[in-house]
Homo-oligomer: A and B are copies of this chain.
Amino acid sequence: MAKLEVSSKRVMLRNYVTGFSQETYLELSQGTIVLKVPQGSNAILVKNLYLSCDPYICKKGTVYRKPYLTYHELFKICSPKKGEHVFVSAASGAVGQLVGQFAKLMGCYVVGSVGSKEKVDLLKNKLGFNEAFNYKEEHELDAALKRCFPEGIDIYFDNVGGKILDAILNMRTRGRIAACGMVSQYNLEQPESIKNLISIISKQVCIQGFVSHEQYHLYPQMLDTLLPYIREGKLVYVEDIAEGLERSPAALVGLFSGHNVGKQVAAVAHE
């Protein structure tokens, strides 16, 4: 391949970020890069069409999340059984929408919390959740949980941490919590307090934190299990596509206020 100099756009941080991320913390700049694969090399040049926008990109430190790999984590950590009562937060997001559908395929009763009426509709009408609520419209989180789970919660797949996690800690005996993410906490100077941790003793609750980057070897096995469901339309995946690199800072920051509906990506090129 010949050496080729091309114009390139970049999104970069202006400065070290503290507190809540804002779009103005990121700046778009223009430069040039040289595209070249050395002669005789086995390397290939890859063209990125989409970029993933994930909450951890804005977080101090790094949490790796791969939506499809949460399949193994849900089953390994939570062992969902038919008829169990499952709650998923950030349930229309990249991870939550799949977790809820996996649990439904297992025959569980599944409820999700989201941040808008539109997302409640998505969960109930497109993704097949049994119930869903908009946490921003609930004055009493405990009351919303009691309404949706009169018999209590067996499994909580936590994507948000903070108040919702705290409210759920007093769950059913032998409850299981998969701690996947705590998006409500990433940009706080001081994390919110958890007050109900003592409940886990008498309820024999297990809380397991996880990252997915150690599960790559299970990827083929997961595809074997899930591809038939996808082909049959029993598993759907909703994406929110921001057009152009210029829109990626807003898309990234929007994750923290729940602007995205489904997995947020930025389309930076078209084939």
Residues in B whose Cβ lies below 8 Å from that of A211: 201-202, 204
Q: A204-B211, A206-B207, A210-B204 are in contact. Are A197 and B63 (CB under 8 A)?
A: no
Interface residue? A31 (CB, 8 A): no
Interface residue? A9 (CB, 8 A): no
Residue contact B194 to A205, C-beta cutoff 8 Å: no
Interface residue range, chain A: 20 to 34
The quantity of this chain's copies bound in the complex is 2
In-complex Cβ contact of A161 among B191, B197, B209 (8 A)? B197
Residues in B whose Cβ lies below 8 Å from that of A195: 190-191, 193-194
Interface residue? A153 (CB, 8 A): no
Residue contact B191 to A198, C-beta cutoff 8 Å: yes
**What are the interface flags for A38-63 relative to B under an 8 Å C-beta threshold, 1 for contact and 0 otherwise?**
00000000000000000000000111
Residues in B whose Cβ lies below 8 Å from that of A191: 195-198
Least CB distance from A192 to B in Å reads: 8
Majority SS of interface residues in chain A? loop
A206–B77 Cα distance when bound, in Å, is 10
Interface residue? A245 (CB, 8 A): no
- Which chain A residues (153-211) contact chain B, with CB distance < 8 Å? 161, 165, 179-182, 185, 190-191, 193-211
A199–B62 Cα distance when bound, in Å, is 11
Residue contact A209 to B209, C-beta cutoff 8 Å: no
A11–B210 Cα distance when bound, in Å, is 48
In-complex Cβ contact of A201 among B179, B196, B199 (8 A)? B179
Residues in B whose Cβ lies below 8 Å from that of A210: 201, 204
Q: A161-B197, A194-B194 are in contact. Are A207 and B204 (CB under 8 A)?
A: no
Residues in B whose Cβ lies below 8 Å from that of A203: 209
A198–B179 Cα distance when bound, in Å, is 9
Kindly report which residue of chain B lies nearest to residue A165, judged by CB atoms. Answer: B197
Residues in B whose Cβ lies below 8 Å from that of A193: 193-195
Residue contact A63 to B209, C-beta cutoff 8 Å: no
Residues in B whose Cβ lies below 8 Å from that of A185: 198
Interface residues of A, Cβ cutoff 8 Å to B: 61-63, 161, 165, 179-182, 185, 190-191, 193-211
Q: Which 5 residue pairs of A and B lie closest in terms of their CB atoms, listed nearest first? A: A193-B193, A200-B209, A194-B194, A201-B209, A207-B207
> Would you list 18 pairs from A and B whose C-beta atoms are within 8 A, ordered by A residue?
A61-B202, A62-B202, A161-B197, A182-B197, A182-B201, A185-B198, A190-B195, A191-B197, A194-B194, A194-B195, A194-B197, A199-B209, A200-B207, A201-B209, A201-B211, A202-B209, A204-B209, A206-B209
